Structure 1
Amino acid sequence: MQSWLVLHNGWVVHRGFKRSTATGDGNPIPPGPLFRFPFLPKYPERILHRWTKQYGSIYSVWMGNQLFVVMNDPEVARDLLVIHGANFSSRWSYFMKNQTILQGGAITATPYNETWRKHRRIANTILAPKAIKRYHSTLQYEAHMLVRSLYYGTQNGTIPVNPARYAGRYVLNNMLSVTFATRIGSVTDPLIKKTLSLGDEFMMLTGPWSNAIDFIKPLQWMPTRIRSRGRKLHQDFLDVYGAMILLVKKRMESGEDAPDCLVKSLLKSQEEEELSWTDICMLATAFATGGSHSTSGTIQWFLAFMPSHPEIQAKAHEELDCMVGRDRLPTLNDEMRLPYVRAIIKEVLRCRAPFWMATPHCSDNDFVYKGMYIPVNTVMILNCYSLHHNEERYPEPFTFNPDRFADDNLSSTESSKLSNAMERDHWAFGAGRRICPGMPIAENEIFLAVSRLLWAFSIQIVPGKPPCLEEYEGNSGRTPLPFKVMLVPRHENVEAILTTNGEIPDLRV
């Protein structure tokens, strides 16, 4: 029987030292902590960053009997995930995330095989940069409604507002349009609460370091509360998104004009692509939940940072007044003309990446890297927290400073392809062959939201209640603790411009 030792502050470690693992040639695994852990406590990225300082650009950690290798340097990340991506693009079968909730589907949980390639190809028909141009008008409409609803929700800037549900509806409507060709008409719609709660539950249950059940196999056989929550979440995904898929199917079968969307493509190609009902539900879940939570979280972090940085807002307001003016809202065509707004977005993503550990990869074969042995089936962690706080790449990394991106003229999609990894803007969307396929549409969504919020409002603190920037929610994706801000219209044209478009009706049938 394994023996575990409880240390101070609730840490639990295995009594044995790390198992000595090496190749026949004597190449050791990367250095790392001596003990084994069943989980890491809250905010594991801070623990990993301390280990980065101690062990360097690459190190190993034993979680139960599973070996993790943590990549903390841009060159290491490029070498392993990009140059040798054929060996480091699979997924380890986390019990909670991969086996229980997603059951090997949803692109993110699929091993690096023909099924993944098929699902990724299908996703790219919707999410590739050229494909998403067909959704530009939808994205711009929803961004208009985001700012408009906040204007009325704050009673013209006179009362504070918690932006979470507004940001959630904005991003969810974009994903619902892309996935189901539908949208939600009101921030009070029960579907918003339901889908956001599903996303929150997913992020609480799927942290790469947080669940002992992932690393201690006997716990997987026991009827625990966390296992029950995972099974219920899987069924909730099938129920909620399955019902929406059936609505699209009903439209198609009745001869209605069903607009192009992911689900329509999946249903039309179901037989040819050999897609099961669960495949379709999990792919729809990946689009609607994954993209919604991370992107809405980024918008919330932007709104949380701005009240304590009026000088940054003033610089952005000056750029917007100069390049866009006050007679119209910024559009996607203005993006390259607003470098400081883009720099703010890059800095938000650097300071508060939606996933500090990206989505873990897994090795398919034994590999030796710079004299260090990485065995087959090793979990590979892209440590975005340490990458984003690399003092050589980002001087004073704990300071919020958009000026560090002043000369960056690339989109994040373009930046991710740079041959010099040290020049990449950030790693918030992952790296290599499993990089987030939704990066282009997420960039569009975030730019429209941030640029229009800055165009319309001065984002101010609620007296005595500043947003908390140090603590956050979630074990996987990170969102701010609930907060409120004042959104004060900053010029006389705001009301006239925001009221030009009325809310279109709920499109669900």
Structure 2
Amino acid sequence: MTVLLPLTLGLVYIFMWLLRGGSREPGLPPGPPTLPLLGNLHIFPKKFAHFKWVLKVGPGTAIVLTDAAAVKELMDKRSGSTADRPPMHVADVVAGGLNMAVSRYSESWRTLRKTAHTILTPQGSMKHLPIQRAEASQLLHDILCRPEAFYTHIRRFANSVILSVLYGKRAPRYETREATAFFEAQHEWELVLEPGATPPIDLIPILKYVPERWAKWKQDCAKTRKMQRKLYFGLLDEAKERLSQGEENGCFMEEILAKQVELGMDREMTGYLGGILMEGGSDTTSSYLQSLILALVAYPDAQRKAQEEIDHVVGSLRMPTLEDLEEMPYIRAMISENHRFRPVAPMLIPHCALNDEEYKGFLIPQGCTIFINIWGIFHDPELYDDPENFIPERYLLSENGTKPGADGSDLRPNLPFGAGRRLCPGIHLAQNSIKINAMNLVWAFNFTTDIDAQGNPIVLDTFDYQNGLLTAPRPFKCKITPRSAEKVDLIKQEFLEAADIFSKFEFGLSEEDKEFVMRSRAKC
């Protein structure tokens, strides 16, 4: 009897705690009705969460911000309280807590962040413009030769730029060994992180102790960790070897290796910093450019206006430069509109509150998960006229694209890149790639609807996007044709002239890569 009584009381306490765990605490913002234990977990969207919102997830609390003023106040002005990430056990298993994008707000994170900011300044990013322009010239040439493969040409471009910038080694083909290894590892990583792919380990911590032979998620994490480490640390060691032999080419990792002690970086941190920057630089830029082409096909009037402007400024006797963009208000508006129309990270990566915060009478409790619904903000009809359509002109009428009478003062141009202390450190590098390619693509090609086997136009679905924290349009078909013979000649000439820049980054190419490079240049 003396044993049963405390055991019974303990079970009753746990049961009552579980029941209470699904209820909404006083003071929280309003949300849908909850169920005992589950809260709103039963209605939490497993895909396209940016179309919905939820506030109670089991015993935890999740708050969704779909208001620019709230984002500005809580995430930017009070960033010291909202800079954490929610617990993500699978990410810690894979990357040892050193994936800067999803790791907790810790001393290691601060060191990684400071190191990235030290190197990726606006001025530091400018020195990488030559390789960005050279890779952009290959993108045009690749599309000219095989327009049907534009989707993977864009992925190769983005991956090769960040490989060159980080490790001083490029990928001339989509099938280059390092590019293939990255895309394979990234696929496994995204599967591990996908909602519903693993048990709710962070909600039920005891699941961490299930033996690996009975836990497929542990096997998947181990596989992903092995793939990532082989790639990240292999590339790091190659850069270190070149540096020791005096063959440096000014890449990011050379700077970090030379300042490791000063920066407080060890080998593990350096390897994973390169990894997360490669992940962000490959996925976000390629997703943005794929969405831009989708919009140009779906909205031919916008494409025509952009082409008229760039023809007026640049003409057909040379290619555009970054300096030209100052004279192209419509194309600048088009770039901003594409961020709004199809943000690469519709919900960003969730934050976590380090302290209790109060906002407009509502409690933002310590430990709650905070989602920033970028999609919801950018498609708010109170802020934007006809928000579901691609209309660059809106950014000619007001700085933030808002409709007449709407207060857009709480919006900021870099909102798609994150908030507060979690703003993307590679923003300047990414913006340069976006600007260069947006101008190049509009200048060089016409993008139109393709036809099917029966001769009917293929209607594009501008909502057909991949699921995940980072989204991109699913591969789609369109017709891409050069705008003139003069532009074809210039594309070939620019690609040939880029050979000298490429040569500084063409280390350890396979025989297949070398053959591809020679064959590509021979076509010019």
The TM-score, its normalising length taken from structure 2, stands at: 0.83
Structure 1 330/379 Cα, relative in aligned 2: closer, same or farther at 3 Å?
same
* Residue in structure 2 matching 1:172, options 159, 172, 175: 159
1:21 is aligned to 2:25: yes
State the 1:365 CA deviation.
1.2
State the 1:256 CA deviation.
2.1
Per the alignment, in what secondary structure is the counterpart of residue 163 of structure 2? helix
Task: Indicate if the aligned counterparts of 1:105 and 1:282 stay in contact, CA closer than 8 A.
Answer: yes
State the 1:150 CA deviation.
0.8
> Separation in 1 of the partners of 2:222 and 2:337?
37
Task: For residues 270-316 of structure 1, give each alpha carbon's deviation from its aligned partner in whole angstroms, at most 9, with x where no partner exists.
Answer: 33444332211110011111121011011111112221211111101
Task: Indicate if the aligned counterparts of 2:160 and 2:179 stay in contact, CA closer than 8 A.
Answer: no
Partner of 2:172: 185
State the 1:428 CA deviation.
1.4
> Separation in 1 of the partners of 2:90 and 2:342?
25
Task: For residues 430-473 of structure 1, give each alpha carbon's deviation from its aligned partner in whole angstroms, at most 9, with x where no partner exists.
Answer: 11121111111111101111110111100112114344321221
Partner of 1:367: 357
Partner of 2:4: none
Task: Indicate if the aligned counterparts of 2:111 and 2:265 stay in contact, CA closer than 8 A.
Answer: no
> Separation in 2 of the partners of 1:226 and 1:470?
30
* Residue in structure 2 matching 1:497, options 481, 490, 497: 490
Structure 1 segments (4+ residues) deviating >4 Å: 14-17, 207-212, 407-411
1:240 is aligned to 2:231: yes
Q: Percent identity, aligned pairs only?
A: 25
> Separation in 1 of the partners of 2:247 and 2:439?
34
1:163 is aligned to 2:156: no
State the 1:133 CA deviation.
1.0
Task: Indicate if the aligned counterparts of 1:163 and 1:484 stay in contact, CA closer than 8 A.
Answer: no
Task: For residues 448-506 of structure 1, give each alpha carbon's deviation from its aligned partner in whole angstroms, at most 9, with x where no partner exists.
Answer: 11110111100112114344321221321101112222211111212210111325456
Partner of 1:108: 101
> Separation in 1 of the partners of 2:314 and 2:186?
35
Partner of 2:424: 436
Per the alignment, in what secondary structure is the counterpart of residue 345 of structure 2? coil
Per the alignment, in what secondary structure is the counterpart of residue 402 of structure 1? coil
1:73 is aligned to 2:67: yes
Aligned residue identity for 1:119: L
Task: Indicate if the aligned counterparts of 1:168 and 1:196 stay in contact, CA closer than 8 A.
Answer: no
> Separation in 1 of the partners of 2:369 and 2:196?
11
Which structure 1 residue ranges, 5 or more long, are not aligned? 3-13, 23-27, 49-59, 155-160, 412-418
Structure 1 480/140 Cα, relative in aligned 2: closer, same or farther at 3 Å?
same
Per the alignment, in what secondary structure is the counterpart of residue 87 of structure 1? helix
Aligned residue identity for 2:25: T
> 1:207-218 counterparts in 2 under 5 A?
207=194, 212-213=199-200, 214-218=202-206
1:460 is aligned to 2:464: no
> Separation in 2 of the partners of 1:86 and 1:177?
34
Task: Indicate if the aligned counterparts of 1:162 and 1:482 stay in contact, CA closer than 8 A.
Answer: no
Structure 1 410/142 Cα, relative in aligned 2: closer, same or farther at 3 Å?
farther
> Separation in 2 of the partners of 1:326 and 1:406?
26
State the 1:361 CA deviation.
1.3
Aligned residue identity for 1:112: Y
State the 1:29 CA deviation.
1.6
Partner of 2:513: none
> Separation in 2 of the partners of 1:42 and 1:90?
23
Partner of 1:339: 329
> Separation in 2 of the partners of 1:364 and 1:276?
27
Task: For residues 38-85 of structure 1, give each alpha carbon's deviation from its aligned partner in whole angstroms, at most 9, with x where no partner exists.
Answer: 65322121122xxxxxxxxxxx62223221111110001111011111
> Separation in 2 of the partners of 1:278 and 1:430?
25
State the 1:143 CA deviation.
0.9
Aligned residue identity for 1:429: F
Per the alignment, in what secondary structure is the counterpart of residue 288 of structure 1? helix
Task: For residues 147-202 of structure 1, give each alpha carbon's deviation from its aligned partner in whole angstroms, at most 9, with x where no partner exists.
Answer: 11110123xxxxxx132221111111111121101111223324323312333333
Task: For residues 69-123 of structure 1, give each alpha carbon's deviation from its aligned partner in whole angstroms, at most 9, with x where no partner exists.
Answer: 11110001111011111111112221233x2233221322333343323222211
Task: For residues 364-416 of structure 1, give each alpha carbon's deviation from its aligned partner in whole angstroms, at most 9, with x where no partner exists.
Answer: 112222221222111111111111111122111111111111146699xxxxx
Partner of 2:313: 323
Partner of 2:127: 134
Structure 1 15/397 Cα, relative in aligned 2: closer, same or farther at 3 Å?
farther
1:197 is aligned to 2:184: yes
Structure 1 485/20 Cα, relative in aligned 2: closer, same or farther at 3 Å?
closer
The structure with the greater share of residues assigned to helix is 2
1:63 is aligned to 2:62: no
Partner of 2:3: none
Partner of 2:268: 278
Look at both structures and tell me which one has the larger radius of gyration over its CA atoms: 2
Task: Indicate if the aligned counterparts of 1:199 and 1:290 stay in contact, CA closer than 8 A.
Answer: no
Partner of 2:348: 358
Aligned residue identity for 1:168: R
Task: Indicate if the aligned counterparts of 1:183 and 1:507 stay in contact, CA closer than 8 A.
Answer: yes
1:229 is aligned to 2:185: no
Higher mean C-alpha deviation, range 341-350 or range 31-40 = 31-40
Aligned residue identity for 2:446: S
1:445 is aligned to 2:433: yes
Query: What's the RMSD between the two structures over aligned residues?
Result: 2.5
Task: Indicate if the aligned counterparts of 1:307 and 1:459 stay in contact, CA closer than 8 A.
Answer: yes
Structure 1 292/408 Cα, relative in aligned 2: closer, same or farther at 3 Å?
farther
Which structure 2 residue ranges, 5 or more long, are not aligned? 1-10, 13-17, 402-406, 453-457, 509-524
> Separation in 1 of the partners of 2:464 and 2:430?
24
Task: Indicate if the aligned counterparts of 1:128 and 1:440 stay in contact, CA closer than 8 A.
Answer: yes
Task: Indicate if the aligned counterparts of 1:41 and 1:210 stay in contact, CA closer than 8 A.
Answer: no
* Residue in structure 1 matching 2:412, options 424, 432, 439: 424
* Residue in structure 2 matching 1:40, options 37, 40, 45: 45
